[in-house]
Structure formats: C-alpha cells, structure tokens
Amino acid sequence: MTEYIYSSPYRVTKNMVEAFHQDGYIIIRNLLSKKEIEMAGRVVESNGTMQRYKFGVKDIHGNESAQITWNQPGNDITGLIARSDKVAGTAEKLLGGECYHYHSKVVIKDPLAGGERAWHQDYGYWYQNGCLFPDMLTVFITVDKTDKSNGCLQLLRGSHKCGRIEHTLVGDETGAKISRVNDLLKVCPLDYIETEPGDAVFFHSNLLHMSAVNTSTRRRLAFLIAYNKASNNPVKKHHHPQYTPLKKVSDLALENCDAVDDDMSGKDFLDMENSETLKEQTSFHKS
C-alpha cells in the first residue's frame, strides 16, 4: 500500500506514477481540506436536484445502497473538485496524457443497512460503452470516515495487470466472474483502505475492488470521479459522455470558495429509468 500526504506546493512525482502502475492505485491523504470536503458533503445532503436523481442499488443479499450519478462536472463545489489541478491534474499525470471527466457519483451506505458492492473492475462495464482501452481511472474521495465496520473500499493490489475479466449481473450491479476473483485472491494482496474525510484513492480501471455491508451505526458517503484519457474517446454514444474538453481550475478556486453553490445546471444527471443504453446493458448481463 503506497500513500502520500498532500501538502502545498503539490506535484505528482515519478515515484507516485510508478507506484500507481505497479500496485494499481495510490492514496493521497488530506487531498481535500476539511472546508472543501464539508462543502461537498452539504451539497449532496441538501440539494434538491441531487436528491431527485438518487436511486437504490441492491446487492445479492437484498441490502441497498444509494447512488447519484452525473456526466458533466458543472460549476458547483463538486464540479470544482473534479476540475481542480490537484484532482484532475493528478489523474492526467498518472494516465500519462489529457483526460476528460467521464462521470462522477456519490455512493451512500446508510448505518446498519448500506449494501455491499460486489468485486468488479470499472473497465468491466466501461468496456461495454465503447472504450477500447483501459486508459481510465477512478478517484475515490472520502466524505465520511471509512473503516472495515462501515464498508471501506477493498482493493486487490496489482490485480489490474490481469486484464479485463468477464462480468455478469450480481444483484442490481455488475460483478466480476467470482471464480476468477477467487483465484486472484490467492496471489494478490487484499488491502482494506481505511480513510479520513478528504483522503483520496486513485485507482486503475482494471483494478478489482469491492466494499462490504455497512454494519456500523455510522453513514458511509463517498464521492467518486471517473476520468477517461482523451485519446480513448468511446467509439459509440452511450449514457456517459464521449470526449469533452475539461475546463480545469486552479486549486485556489477551491481554497477561495466561501459558500456552497447550489447551481446544478449542466451536470447531466443520470436518469436510470430513461437511459436506453443502461437498459441494453442490463439485458446483456441477464442473457
């Protein structure tokens, strides 16, 4: 497990890039300040538009977690985070070129109820969207403290090197073929990623990961941002965007943000009931 502590001035080092490609992920502690992460959390909790697009995802045992997904970053605090140099710029350095915002989401596991997320690779389903290469990553940013009891992120270190694994429907979500996962569990270290608010995990799109049921009396809310390399523009239209230039902002834009901006215009929230490509993918996995 390779981790770093954010400090200003900040830059992505050669060692960070090498660790990302070796292990499939890196952790950057305190990437977002207390103020920044608290503002993001308040937007998710209180914004009416966000709440209208919340949907449930059931695991194989019937437990449910909640999710809100949007395609464009927008200009609110969550959008500024996704467009900031320290987040988007780090993604570009790790992937080795220009990136664009593929989508963002929040995942909410309520106390004593929040369902597990099955073992999967993000590229296991992004592959179905016409992305020809796994030149993609996800940034997992902690809003609430995470540990084993409330369903922290679990990663199979180095599993991104195994290539794409076949995925099928597991509950309401897409999961990797479990026999393959069990074989990889024998040779890849299993890392439990316990984090504090503002910590960020950057992980490769082929890295196997999951999270368990929240058995604690504490909520677990996480903010996830997915980036795709510009050169990996999807070859077909689907429910996430094709290449759209990312208008990055300096980290000062976050530091100088004094209020929560409730402007949700242009974020293009994912409507689960009316997405034709999502319906196609569900039918594909069920067949």
| Domain carrying residue 27 | 3-286
CA–CA separation, 86 and 249 (whole Å): 9
Three-class DSSP category at 120: strand
pLDDT at 161 over 60: yes
What's the start-to-end Cα distance of the chain, in Å? Answer: 38
CATH of the domain at 238: 2.60.120.620
Q: Which of 246, 32, 18 is nearest to 140 (CA)?
A: 32
pLDDT digits (tens, 9 = 90+) for 61-80: 899 999 999 999 999 999 99
pLDDT at 185 over 70: yes
Both tokens of 39, joined, read 């503002």
pLDDT at 256 over 90: no
- State the amino acid at position 96 in one-letter form: G
Count how many domains the chain has: 1
Q: Which of 184, 178, 146 is nearest to 162 (CA)?
A: 184
Q: Go through the chain and tell me how many residues it has.
A: 287
pLDDT digits (tens, 9 = 90+) for 78-119: 999 999 999 999 999 999 999 999 999 999 999 999 999 999
Alpha-carbon torsion 246, 250, 251, 253, what sign?
negative
Q: Are 81 and 33 in contact (CB under 8 A)?
A: no
pLDDT digits (tens, 9 = 90+) for 208-220: 999 999 999 999 9
pLDDT at 261: 63
pTM of the model: 0.94
For 82-111, give the DSSP string: HHBIIIIIHHHHHHTS-EEEEEEEEEEE-T
CA–CA separation, 281 and 262 (whole Å): 32
pLDDT at 255: 84
Q: Kindly list the distances between the CA atom of residue 259 and the CA atoms of 38, 47, 198, 221, 253, in Å, as whole numbers in the listed order.
A: 11, 14, 18, 21, 12
pLDDT digits (tens, 9 = 90+) for 232-245: 999 999 999 999 99
Q: Are 185 and 156 in contact (CB under 8 A)?
A: yes
pLDDT digits (tens, 9 = 90+) for 257-285: 876 667 899 999 998 766 554 555 543 33
CA–CA separation, 137 and 155 (whole Å): 14
pLDDT at 65: 95
